[in-house]
Amino acid sequence: MNNRPPISSTSNVIDSYRKRRQRGNPNIVLILASVFVLGGIGLLVYWLTSTPNNPISNMLATDTLTPTMTFTPTSTSTPTETPTATSTATITATPTFSAPFNYTVQDGDYLQLIAEKFSLGDDGVAKIISLNPFGGANEQTGMPIGIDPATLNILPGQVITIPNQGYELPTATPIPSNLTRGTKIDYTVQAGDTLGGIAALFNSTVDDIMKENKLTDANALFAGQVLVIPVNLVTSTPTRPPTSTPVTPGPGTDAPTVTLTPIN
């Protein structure tokens, strides 16, 4: 028994295959066309939405509200000028000492200024010199030792002794009568001294005092100056007391008037 299909059946199969191919070609074309259309639509949409000022964006855009900033005025206080307090000069009291004390000379100091600073009186310079006998210069520092009465120079940094306000200049000691003629003693010139008065005080002479101290002007004396006095060069003449003329009290006179007659 022959199982092969008839020849007509084979032809039918071939015809069916051809028909399917003919039906499949339009489907492929349709798919491709659809792809291109969709791609074109996508590109168009992308272009319309991505470019600035595109029509779609303008149609879909909504007005963006711009925030309005409202400034609230702040009350700013104007600073008031604060008056500057004027400092009142403070008066520095000069310390009072009960005994002589050391003082370091400052720039610009001189003896009269120091005497006024510590209220030492008219003879303050003489008082300072009397407490600072001159002894040359210090070998190590070069600073003067004491005060040279001939120059009255003082240097910044020099330490000198200042008398207290109650300090009194030493008074002249009476010359012992047994001193040998021409004995030399030191004397510190006091305020108001004259060379003639000093000579009379020590039974000396003006010429001998000037020669001993190499003085050229008898009037060029100053308080605190130390002189070398040769004593007992002349015999002291006793001075008679002033004479008085008694007056007999009269009517209306309470006390006698005494007339003093100086002896030259």
Torsion of CA 40, 41, 42, 46, to 10 degrees: 100
Choose the most confident range, by mean pLDDT, from 79-93, 97-111, 125-139: 97-111
pLDDT score recorded for residue 109 = 94
DSSP label at residue 202: T
Contact status, residue 113 vs residue 133, Cβ threshold 8 Å: no
pLDDT in tens, 172-193: 556 666 778 888 998 888 777 8
pLDDT score recorded for residue 85 = 61
Contact status, residue 189 vs residue 176, Cβ threshold 8 Å: no
pLDDT in tens, 32-53: 888 888 888 877 777 666 665 6
Give the pLDDT band (50/70/90) at residue 252.
very low
Alpha helices, H only, 89-214 = 111-117, 124-131, 195-201, 206-213
* Phi, psi of 171, deg, nearest 5: -80, 155
pLDDT score recorded for residue 255 = 42
For residue 6, the Cα-to-chain-centroid distance in whole angstroms is 137
Give the pLDDT band (50/70/90) at residue 86.
low
pLDDT score recorded for residue 218 = 86
pLDDT average, residue stretch 89-113: 81
Helix (H) or strand (E) holding 38: helix 7-50
- Least confident range from 1-5, 16-20, 26-30, 193-197: namely 1-5
Give the pLDDT band (50/70/90) at residue 94.
low
